[in-house]
């Protein structure tokens, strides 16, 4: 039993020694890899340094070591600020990620709305409005526009009066009557027939309307001249 126990312990020791040797070998490989990495980085760093020196010399740039030291100190002194700035960028990045679905939805809705407006003819209408603007610019001068600006109040007042219900009904009746006249078959009246027509009540009212209208127009013209 003692020999079996001794052999078992020897086997355990051998296993531990094997593990220890394997660990040491791994550490040796890692150390060699680190040495190779440091060596490579050192070579790259030297190349970068020499390249930087050559570039600085070619561009005739002189570096003051004291200024470099102050710059490094300032950078180190503002690490907290840089950290906050990076935090802000991260927050903005997170916000953009959160807003991305909303922005995509808005773009899709906007695209659909533009398509709907195009189908209804809004864009074609705007293009034709552009042609109207071109015609106005072509046919009117700057002085015409200036006169329009000076008289815009009078023009708007006239339009306002023309759009009153009574005025619209009157103009509509006049247009309807004008359209109902057959200009190819207008009867001829003799002086006797004219005199007889003038004696009718409708013609008397018409003549009274014309006379009243002309009198009022003359009075309004006289008042305008007095104001001016």
Q: Are 167 and 161 in contact (CB under 8 A)?
A: yes
Q: Are 197 and 189 in contact (CB under 8 A)?
A: yes
pLDDT tens for residues 86-131?
888 888 888 888 888 888 888 898 888 888 888 888 888 888 888 8
Instruction: Determine the angle formed by the axes of helices 152-162 and 165-180, rounding to 10 degrees.
Output: 70
In eight-state DSSP terms, residue 186 is P
Q: Is the pLDDT of residue 1 over 60?
A: no
Is 127 contained in some domain?
no
Is 171 contained in some domain?
yes
Residue 159, domain extent: 142-176
Tell me how far CA of residue 206 lies from CA of 64, 166, 195, in angstroms. 104, 18, 14
| pTM score of the predicted model | 0.34
Is 163 contained in some domain?
yes
Structure tokens at 218: 């003359």
Is 4 contained in some domain?
no
Q: d(Cα 176, Cα 158) in Å, to the nearest integer?
A: 22
Is 162 contained in some domain?
yes
Is 150 contained in some domain?
yes
Instruction: Give CA 168 to chain center in angstroms.
Output: 42
pLDDT tens for residues 12-29?
777 888 788 888 888 888
Instruction: Give CA 159 to chain center in angstroms.
Output: 36
Mean pLDDT (the chain) is 81
| Mean pLDDT calculated for residue range 134-152 | 84
- For residue 10, what is the enclosing H or E element? helix 2-58
Domain count, the chain: 1
Percentage of residues in the chain having pLDDT higher than 90 = 0
Is 200 contained in some domain?
no
Is 172 contained in some domain?
yes
Per-residue confidence (pLDDT) for residue 228, from 0 to 100? 61
Exposure class string for 86-106: b at 16+ Cβ within 10 A, else e: eeeeeeeeeeeeeeeeeeeee
Q: Are 212 and 204 in contact (CB under 8 A)?
A: no
Q: Give 41-104 as a DSSP string.
A: HHHHHHHHHHHHHHHHHHTT----HHHHHHHHHHHHHTHHHHHHHHHHHHHHHHHHHHHHHHHH
């Amino acid at each position: 039993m003692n020999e079996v126990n001794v052999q078992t312990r020897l086997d355990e020791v051998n296993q531990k020694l094997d593990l220890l040797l394997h660990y040491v070998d791994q550490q040796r490989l890692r150390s060699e890899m680190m040495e190779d990495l440091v060596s490579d980085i050192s070579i790259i760093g030297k190349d970068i340094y020499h390249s930087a020196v050559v570039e600085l010399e070619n561009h005739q740039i002189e570096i003051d070591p004291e200024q470099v030291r102050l710059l490094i100190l300032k950078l180190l002194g503002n690490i907290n600020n840089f950290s906050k700035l990076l935090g802000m960028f991260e927050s903005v990045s997170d916000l953009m990620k959160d807003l991305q679905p909303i922005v995509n939805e808005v773009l899709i809705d906007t695209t659909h709305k533009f398509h709907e407006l195009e189908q209804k003819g809004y864009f074609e209408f705007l293009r034709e409005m552009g042609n109207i603007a071109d015609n106005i610019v072509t046919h009117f001068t700057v002085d015409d526009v200036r006169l329009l600006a000076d008289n815009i109040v009078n023009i708007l007042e006239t339009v306002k009066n023309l759009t009153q219900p009574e005025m619209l009904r009157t103009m509509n009746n006049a247009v309807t009557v004008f359209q109902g006249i057959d200009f190819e078959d207008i009867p001829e009246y003799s002086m006797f027939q004219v005199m007889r027509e003038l004696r009718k009540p409708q013609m008397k009212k018409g003549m009274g309307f014309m006379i009243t209208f002309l009198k009022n127009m003359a009075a309004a013209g006289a008042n305008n001249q007095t104001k001016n």
